[in-house]
Each structure stands twice: as C-alpha cells, then as structure tokens.
Amino acid sequence: MFSNDRNIETIGQLVEVLKHYIGLQNEYLRLDVIEKVVRLITALIMAGVTFLIIIIIFIYLSFAAAYALAPHVGYPVAFLIVAAFYIIVFLLFLAFRKSWVEKPLVRFLASMLMEQE
C-alpha cells in the first residue's frame, strides 16, 4: 500500500507543505518578537521623555515654592522646607516602591509582551 507512486508523491507533497508551514511559523515568530521589541523601546522612550518633562516641571515648581515661602521664613529655611518635602516623598517612594512601581510595571510589560493580536 505504501509502495505505490501516488502515496509516495502525496507524502512528498505533505513534507513540502510542512516545511513551508514551519518556515511561515518561524517568520511569524520573528516578526512578532520584532514588533514587541519595537513596542517596548517606544514605551521606554516615551517614559523617558515624560520623566524628563516631569523633572523639569518639578524643578520649576520647587523654586517657585521656595521663593513663595521665603518672605515668611527666609530663603535658607524655605529651601530646606522644599528639600524636606522631597525627602519625605523619596522615603514614601522607597517604602511603597513594590506597589507603586514594580507591580504596575510588571503588569504593563507582561500585557504588552503577551498581547495576541
């Protein structure tokens, strides 16, 4: 039954189709990885630009707050008050970094990389 030419030809065609399918799957996987890497790099660049803009805004707001407090408490104390505020924010950030940064970042990256379209 397996020795006739028709069966051998059919098996040969099946092998060719299977090779083509494996090649297409390989190409699809490569393109999917490239898309996810590009999306990740784009997200990182956008986060970096946003972070830079926010830092600049905080610098100007810090100086504005210090100069607004200066007539009431003097310049050195006003700048110390602003610095103390940032130290408190930094300590809160350290205490809650897992829930504020790590978990949302992991969820975001996992959803972006595991997304099926």
How many C-beta neighbours within 10 Å does residue 66 have?
A: 19
The answer to whether 81 and 67 are in contact (CB under 8 A) is: no
Q: Environment class of residue 55 by beta-carbon count within 10 Å: exposed (0-12), middle (13-18) or buried (19+)? A: exposed
Share of the chain above pLDDT 70, in %: 96
Residue 35 Cα distances to 31, 69, 87, 105, 108, angstroms: 6, 50, 40, 19, 16
Average pLDDT of the chain to the nearest whole number: 89
What percent of the chain is predicted at pLDDT more than 90? 60
In this predicted model, what pLDDT tens digit does every residue of 61-71 receive, in sequence order?
999 999 999 99
Give the relative orientation of helices 5-73 and 75-95 as an angle to the nearest 10 degrees.
150
* Whether this model's pTM surpasses 0.85: no
| pLDDT, position 5 | 75
94/60 Cα distance (integer angstroms): 24
